Amino acid sequence: MLALLKRDLVLATRAGGGFGLAVAFFLILCALVPFGVGPQTEALRPIAPGILWVGALLSCLLSLDRIFALDHEDGSLDLLATAPLPLEGVVAIKALAHWLTTSLPLIVAAPVFGLLLHLPGNAVPWLVVSLFIGTPALSVLGAFGAAITVGLRRGGLLLSLLVLPLYIPTLIFGTEIVRRGAQDADPVTPILFLGGISAAVVALVPFAAAAALRVNLR
């Protein structure tokens, strides 16, 4: 399992652009919003939590089809499926690699982008916390979507259509945490909800993703 994780990480870093692409996309998105809604602080401040979360979600989406597509093309996915490691484990490791290469840089970069959108300072720790809890669910759900669409031509567009509705609960509770943090309200309830969703997704969805992979490898 560790070998697979290491291989995926090395591939992601050496593939050129894959690693920082999501962060760059996130930055561009955050830079576009003020052009759209106007640069005034009072206009940006209330929508900053939502924009940051939607941005993180879209940047995460961007690299989802890479999770299985490359391995499917060169046949290494078939090898992985016949390896002693259960396919559920492969999915979990792949999702973890995706989280490490995409979501972790996003979490690190998010406070800086919060500055661009005039996110109130007291919300910044909550932004990091909410992303930290919520993004594992995004990666695993994305791996599920990628597993369903892996054999398809033009799977990318379908992938976003399938995955984005599944992201809605995570998005709702994630922004709720940041919004409450910005208003100095108690963010414990949404944190518990988001943690519950993440834990359930990480525990259960790899099984569905593995089932989808088996169908596609048949």
Partner 1 sequence: MSIWEYANPVKFMRSSGAILPWVVAGAAVCTIGGVLWGFLTPQDYKQGATVKIVFLHVPAAMMAINIWVMMLVTSLIWLIRRHHVSALAAKAAAPIGAVMTLIALMTGAIWGQPMWGSWWEWDPRLTSFLILFLFYIGYIALWAAVEDPDSAADLTGVLCLVGSVFALLSRYAVLFWNQGLHQGASLSVAPGERMSAVYRYPLYLSMLGFLLLFLALVLIRTRTEIRKRRLVALQAREARA
Tokens representing 216 are 């596609």
Which residue number, 8 or 176, has a Cβ lying nearer to partner 1? Answer: 176
Tokens of 119: 């996110």
Q: Which DSSP symbol is given to 153? A: T
CA distance 8 to 67: 9
Return the residue of 89, 111, 120, 169 that touches partner 1, per CB under 8 A.
Answer: 169
The yes or no reply on residue 176 touching partner 1 (CB under 8 A) is: yes
Rounded to whole angstroms, the Cα distance separating 17 from 23 reads 10
Provide the Cα torsion 31, 132, 109, 111; round to 10°. 70
At 104, list the tokens.
Answer: 């972790």
Q: Which is nearer to partner 1, 47 or 164 (CB)?
A: 164
Write down the least CB distance from residue 80 to partner 1, Å.
19
Assess 188 for contact with partner 1 (CB under 8 A): no
Indicate which single residue of 125, 148, 186, 191 sits in contact with partner 1 (rule: CB under 8 A).
Answer: 148
Q: Which of 58, 152, 156, 195 binds partner 1 (CB under 8 A)?
A: 152
Extract the tokens encoding 30.
Answer: 């955050």
The alpha carbon of residue 118 and the mean position of all alpha carbons in its chain are separated, in whole angstroms, by 23
Contact residues for partner 1, defined by CB under 8 A:
144, 148-149, 151-152, 154-155, 158, 161-162, 164-166, 168-169, 172-173, 176, 190, 193, 197, 205, 208, 211-212, 215-216, 218
